[in-house]
Amino acid sequence: MSFSEKEKHFHHLGLSNSSLNWSRHLLMQRSQVTSLFGADALWRKGYTGAKVKMAIFDTRIRADHPHFRNIKERTNWTNEDTLNDNLGHGTFVAGVIAGEDAECLGFAPDTEIYAFRVFTDAQVSYTSWFLDAFNYAIAINMDVLNLSIGGPDYLDLPFVEKVWEITANNIIMVSAIGNDGPLYGTLNNPADQSDVIGVGGIDYSDHIASFSSRGMSIEVLLSAPSFYYGRVKPDVVAYGREIMGSKISTGCKQLSGTSVASPVVAGVVCLLVSIIPENRRKEIPDHPTQMIYHIL
């Protein structure tokens, strides 16, 4: 597994279409990606992700980070004896989902954050760490799980089968499709699995970002007759260029990549799940992309 992001310095993008609305203009001036999805309309109605349990499998978050209202639990599944995020990746992802800083707002600031540290400071992880962490996510009844990570090994059967178990327990899994584009057949696991919302990236002209992986699912291509082309992925795309998110200690920064687009979708999902009464949240459609297609 590896991270899926590319850090870039901010630069102003020229507008090619005069019909772009005012929220798009604001975003070009380092405003909020939340404005493009109309999140503020739900905030005004009192929906802010409250009582939604969000699992972030990444590099952790500082317990006292000023951007977050509701860090419920931080767990470490690695062989390093630390609970902090020393790389910044997990903190950034959490900020896109639930940050409340005025410069880099997240979609669902009242979401209950459960930070799972599954990567070391050297960006190393193992299937066994994920399996243990997945089991715990099931045990504590998560609602949504974000994986801004991925890898090419779709034949890691223990991992693949545990993902099936996660989604069979009605946990909505969102994952980055990968940054190995623009060629087809470059999908990353687990975003290439049928029960996972695989997220690709677009730019502010609504074009697929060149880095965004795409194509048919490879394992079907290898096992099926030549006339059968596999599953189309990604399932959805979201803005993945120069998105604002939280730094390790304080302040905001920009990153680009499908690992940025993934928490955009995960944040939207948390916001939408908070609209559903708690006693009905596990009645979400069998395939979670049904809900996402309806919204996006």
Residues involved in catalysis: 58, 89, 259
Taking the C-alpha atoms of residue 4 and residue 226, their distance in angstroms, rounded to an integer, is 31
Bond from prior residue into 66 cis (ω within 30 degrees of 0): no
Bond from prior residue into 263 cis (ω within 30 degrees of 0): no
Task: Return the sign of the alpha-carbon dihedral for residues 203, 207, 211, 214.
Answer: positive
CB 148 within 8 A of CB 4: yes
Q: Look up residue 202 and give its DSSP letter.
A: E
Q: Look up residue 214 and give its DSSP letter.
A: B
DSSP 122-159: TS---HHHHHHHHHHHHHTT-SEEEE-EEBS-TT-HHH
Burial (Cβ within 10 Å: 0-12, 13-18, ≥19) of residue 17: exposed
Give the residue carrying structure tokens 């997945």: 134
CB 215 within 8 A of CB 185: yes
CA angle 147, 204, 34 (to 5 degrees): 60
CB 193 within 8 A of CB 163: yes
